[in-house]
Amino acid sequence: MTYFGFLLRFLVLPILIFLATTWWDNKNNRPTPGFQNGRAVWIGILVHIILAVVYTTPWDNYLVATGVWYYNPDLVTGIVIGYVPIEEYTFFVLETILSGLWWWFLAKRLASPIQEFKPNKTLVYVSTGLLVILWIIFTALFFSDNQPITYLSITLFWAFPAIFPQLLYGADILWYHRKLVLLGILVPGTYLSLMDIIALTDTTWSIAKDQTTGILFFGILPLEEVIFFFITNILVVFGMTLLLSTIGQQRFKAWKSNNYKGLP
pLDDT tens-digit profile of 52-64? 999 999 999 999 9
pTM for the model? 0.96
Q: Is residue 259 part of a domain?
A: no
Amino acid at 194: L
Amino acid at 55: Y
Quote the pLDDT of residue 74: 96
pLDDT at 239 exceeding the cut of 90:
yes
pLDDT > 90 in the chain, percent: 94
Neighbours of 45 (CB within 10 A): 21
Q: Specify whether the CB–CB gap between 95 and 225 falls below 8 A.
A: no
Q: Specify whether the CB–CB gap between 99 and 237 falls below 8 A.
A: yes
pLDDT at 262 exceeding the cut of 90:
no
Strands (DSSP E) found in the chain: 69-71, 80-81, 84-85, 205-207, 216-217, 221-222
Quote the pLDDT of residue 263: 80
Amino acid at 258: N
Question: Which residue range(s) make up the domain with 224?
Answer: 34-254
Q: Specify whether the CB–CB gap between 111 and 33 falls below 8 A.
A: yes
Quote the pLDDT of residue 260: 85
| C-alpha span between 251 and 248 (Å, rounded) | 5
Instruction: Measure Cα distances from 167 to 18, 39, 140, 242, 243 in Å.
Output: 28, 25, 22, 10, 13
Instruction: Measure Cα distances from 196 to 2, 72, 152, 223 in Å.
Output: 13, 15, 17, 12
Q: Is 28 helix (H, G, I), strand (E, B) or coil?
A: coil
pLDDT tens-digit profile of 87-130? 999 999 999 999 999 999 999 999 989 999 999 999 999 999 99
Q: Is residue 18 part of a domain?
A: no
pLDDT at 261 exceeding the cut of 90:
no
Quote the pLDDT of residue 157: 98
Q: Specify whether the CB–CB gap between 142 and 211 falls below 8 A.
A: no
Quote the pLDDT of residue 229: 98
Q: Is residue 175 part of a domain?
A: yes
Q: Is residue 122 part of a domain?
A: yes
pLDDT-derived band at 141 (thresholds 50, 70, 90) equals very high
Q: Is residue 13 part of a domain?
A: no
In terms of DSSP bridges, do strands 205-207 and 69-71 run parallel, antiparallel, or are they unpaired?
Answer: antiparallel
Q: How many domains does the structure of the chain reveal?
A: 1
pLDDT tens-digit profile of 166-222? 999 999 999 999 999 999 999 999 999 999 999 999 999 999 999 999 999 999 999
Average confidence score pLDDT of the chain: 97
Quote the pLDDT of residue 258: 86
* Cα dihedral sign, 138-141-143-145: negative
Q: Is residue 234 part of a domain?
A: yes
Q: Is residue 58 part of a domain?
A: yes
Q: Which residues pair with 205 in a beta bridge?
A: 71
| C-alpha span between 220 and 97 (Å, rounded) | 27
15-38 b/e (C-beta count within 10 Å ≥ 16 → b): beebeeebeebeeeeeebebbbbe
Quote the pLDDT of residue 149: 96
Q: Is residue 29 part of a domain?
A: no
Distance of CA 1 to the CA centre of its chain: 25
